[in-house]
Structure 1
């Protein structure tokens, strides 16, 4: 965690007073609603804290951004409204501007990066209708902002900044105003997601004016940490690149006004990685049955990190769930990475002897731990290299597993924190093998419960070698595995008898065209 170095220019008091006045007079409730501050009972019990979620994902555009956008646009004079407005946004601010334009009957041009999720682009067009024109330009918010500045100069539009504008900041500050009204009791800290800093600046300024004892902590991704770096160095830093997983906070440079406000009022900044965000998305789902977008779960990821690092007990902590404009096709990635982010899955590459019984000995060494993934393809006559995921309870258990593998004489490489392995290599294990002679390929289903995979292997005939194995726990009632088994032609009848004895549903895939093309010997 990086502490924030504060400074107070002579004009700071006037600026803070002006922002407070704008916040109290903000007209956000023409379009926004007072979002609930809800307990997260499951996560609270696990962390030993009272965790409260500020549900900005329940706004009409599924994000807090419409507060600032509408507050800015409703303050424009008649001449400015007639000329129309322009905005640059990765998606959520764009939706706020679109809704405000339709509400106010005002033309709006919205520039979005080409990397913006399609769900957000479609929502902008739907919300704005005939009042809105969408222009796609660049790979990040900063690229879209540059194009918006060019169009503004050419056409004379009024610019509706997503974060660096007093009226926008004041609109976002109403989130903090609601939190204090909804929870007047003791409150240790409020965690706020940060991109350009509009929400953080507004919430921090308002909260510190009324309840200075409450910590206000900003949370960014490790690959889009412009505010954290800026506060650490005392000057606005421009990032060369930003990560795109949490696209709603992918900003290369924070605002001038937001930076100054954060310098004065923010207590600390936290950085979290992709796996921690995925785990936080799952936490929100388990407690609310809603799915936030990555930036929407950013604050909660920071809250969990802060609670763990500071050894807190029985404190009240608030995380702002800032948005829920999630692309459906990201859910598979989120589900896979959430286990690692919660330190509930360890990933290893293990080398065992290529001999009969090694698989069973390997599984036996795991005890009753659940296997989440098992990938193997025969490739060496002496050694077998296995990619395996194992369900764990803590980071310490990873070290215990490593020691257990070494005690069995197995070589082991801990890949839990290896991005290449988690993102790519786990899906690329396989290929053809000249050693896979007499191979039959079968799919099996078996009841998914702890130890089921080990019991399955225990039923395998000791004279038949496993040449291919793939298993991934998908949270279903039945486990599904793909197995290559080397069975000599004169033992095929015995193998069929084994299948009947095993009693698991099974399908012969040995003649599958895809298998013959990609994996067959």
Structure 2
């Protein structure tokens, strides 16, 4: 982990600049609805409103900053072309802008980017865009893109640490204040590199200073939280990449400076809890979101007492979720809720051992969801990796007690992340 800070950065977007951005992007950006969520309003005894940026043409707010930046370039710059690095949503915004403005774009994306986001980027860009997959993380892709851009003299379109990008994202703040029928007490918004929160918070601090702005990060990539704590930009050495739309190792210097002055609080949310929000939004409200898009709503639990009776806005930032990730999302949600558990079970190598385990060890509502076993000859016991799903997390202790009493218990794997990830 290293720390960096450019003390010369004093930029804050002006309302005039944000209004110009709103005018510039008005032909391509949808004024997304701000609607009350009856599900979450009832759950938190508050007035919870969702700003549906998942309904943009590129299914995320990133089109705002990308189009504002690219459309502000000179014709000479547009003729040479642009380049960017992105884990997905910024890439789609840049691709869409390149297509609309007839300028060539080169887009670097991590190899680990969900296939759906790569395909959508290619679709939005058409013949105007070339996608290059490079590196395992956004930061890897970013470094490669900068080198390529310098070599070919292309304008780099930064996903968050850029004034025009920040001003484009800030237009969300103008829309919310225009759409709201009364005062807004809280705004919760996701934070990756910080472009959205920098723009949004600066607008609210100028037009609605009593509104509390809460930034939300994934627990596995708390770049801004660490930076604010240290008073300088912190580069994390390792991050959990699951929330690909918000997993960055280092926030932008401009974004940090603005958030340091304008944010009221920062909170991190566990990836497993984010997954449960994704499932709830789909099952209860028929809303499809990606992990980053669910973060703001996920954070409401941490403020459930403070927001009672208040007017609260949550930014639903994007819906670019690959359906092939559904199994992993469900798995992470179950693990977080304490409903899914993995063990190494020591099975006696005799006939009827599995039958005994099912009859005497499992509870009436327990279910085996994973089973790997290979019989070992000349051994008294044979190990098996077993996944068990419970109906109630309170049943866990009794389950383990029965395993130990009958001498089936080997190891519990959920709290051994390295071994757990290797086996499952």
Common topology (TM > 0.5): yes
How many angstroms does 1:360 deviate by?
Answer: 3.6
How many angstroms does 1:357 deviate by?
Answer: 6.2
Preserved contact between residue 85 and residue 109 of structure 2 (Cα < 8 Å): yes
Once residues 42 and 423 of structure 1 are traced to their aligned partners in structure 2, the CA distance between those partners, rounded to angstroms, is 34
Preserved contact between residue 42 and residue 286 of structure 1 (Cα < 8 Å): no
Q: Does 1:345 align with 2:333?
A: no
One of 324, 331, 344 as aligned partner of 2:326: 331
Once residues 422 and 184 of structure 1 are traced to their aligned partners in structure 2, the CA distance between those partners, rounded to angstroms, is 49
Once residues 145 and 383 of structure 2 are traced to their aligned partners in structure 1, the CA distance between those partners, rounded to angstroms, is 56
**Comparing 343-352 with 221-230, which one deviates more in the overlay?**
343-352
**Comparing 208-217 with 409-418, which one deviates more in the overlay?**
409-418
**2:300 partner SS:** helix
Cross-structure match for 2:33? 36
Q: Does 1:276 align with 2:273?
A: yes
Once residues 369 and 112 of structure 2 are traced to their aligned partners in structure 1, the CA distance between those partners, rounded to angstroms, is 34
Measured on the aligned residues, the alpha-carbon RMSD in Å equals 3.1
**1:277 partner SS:** helix
Once residues 124 and 85 of structure 2 are traced to their aligned partners in structure 1, the CA distance between those partners, rounded to angstroms, is 16
How many angstroms does 1:160 deviate by?
Answer: 1.3
Deviations 1:366-423 (A, max 9, x none): 57xx33545566979799986422122xxxx53x652686499748777666545765
**1:248 partner SS:** coil
Cross-structure match for 1:148? 145
How many angstroms does 1:89 deviate by?
Answer: 1.3
Output aligned runs, 1:88-487, within 5 Å. Answer: 88-307=85-304, 310=305, 312-341=307-336, 343=337, 345=339, 347=341, 349=343, 359-363=358-362, 366=363, 370-373=365-368, 387-392=387-392, 398=394, 401-402=396-397, 406=401, 410=405, 419=417, 423=421, 425=423, 427=424
Q: How many residues align?
A: 403
**2:117 partner SS:** helix
Once residues 146 and 348 of structure 1 are traced to their aligned partners in structure 2, the CA distance between those partners, rounded to angstroms, is 39
Once residues 283 and 29 of structure 1 are traced to their aligned partners in structure 2, the CA distance between those partners, rounded to angstroms, is 32
**2:245 partner SS:** helix
Once residues 123 and 170 of structure 1 are traced to their aligned partners in structure 2, the CA distance between those partners, rounded to angstroms, is 25
Once residues 358 and 92 of structure 1 are traced to their aligned partners in structure 2, the CA distance between those partners, rounded to angstroms, is 48
Preserved contact between residue 390 and residue 396 of structure 2 (Cα < 8 Å): no
Once residues 366 and 404 of structure 2 are traced to their aligned partners in structure 1, the CA distance between those partners, rounded to angstroms, is 20
**Comparing 105-114 with 199-208, which one deviates more in the overlay?**
105-114
**1:320 partner SS:** strand
Deviations 1:276-332 (A, max 9, x none): 12111112212431321112222222223443xx56533333221111111221111
Preserved contact between residue 43 and residue 283 of structure 1 (Cα < 8 Å): no
Once residues 306 and 401 of structure 2 are traced to their aligned partners in structure 1, the CA distance between those partners, rounded to angstroms, is 33
How many angstroms does 1:169 deviate by?
Answer: 0.4
Label 1:104 to 1:414 Cα distance change in 2 as closer, same or farther (>3 A): same
Once residues 416 and 42 of structure 2 are traced to their aligned partners in structure 1, the CA distance between those partners, rounded to angstroms, is 30
Preserved contact between residue 108 and residue 142 of structure 2 (Cα < 8 Å): yes
How many angstroms does 1:275 deviate by?
Answer: 0.7
Q: Does 1:23 align with 2:24?
A: no
Preserved contact between residue 373 and residue 390 of structure 1 (Cα < 8 Å): no
Once residues 408 and 141 of structure 1 are traced to their aligned partners in structure 2, the CA distance between those partners, rounded to angstroms, is 44
Unaligned runs of 5+ in 2: 1-6
Label 1:101 to 1:11 Cα distance change in 2 as closer, same or farther (>3 A): closer
**1:338 partner SS:** helix
Preserved contact between residue 344 and residue 391 of structure 1 (Cα < 8 Å): no
Once residues 297 and 416 of structure 2 are traced to their aligned partners in structure 1, the CA distance between those partners, rounded to angstroms, is 23
Output aligned runs, 1:506-521, within 5 Å. Answer: none
Once residues 202 and 190 of structure 2 are traced to their aligned partners in structure 1, the CA distance between those partners, rounded to angstroms, is 15
Label 1:45 to 1:152 Cα distance change in 2 as closer, same or farther (>3 A): same
**1:237 partner SS:** strand
Once residues 17 and 368 of structure 2 are traced to their aligned partners in structure 1, the CA distance between those partners, rounded to angstroms, is 54
Once residues 143 and 416 of structure 1 are traced to their aligned partners in structure 2, the CA distance between those partners, rounded to angstroms, is 30
Deviations 1:164-204 (A, max 9, x none): 11111011011122222222424332221111100011111
**Comparing 31-40 with 313-322, which one deviates more in the overlay?**
313-322
Label 1:382 to 1:61 Cα distance change in 2 as closer, same or farther (>3 A): closer
Once residues 46 and 421 of structure 1 are traced to their aligned partners in structure 2, the CA distance between those partners, rounded to angstroms, is 37
**1:139 partner SS:** coil
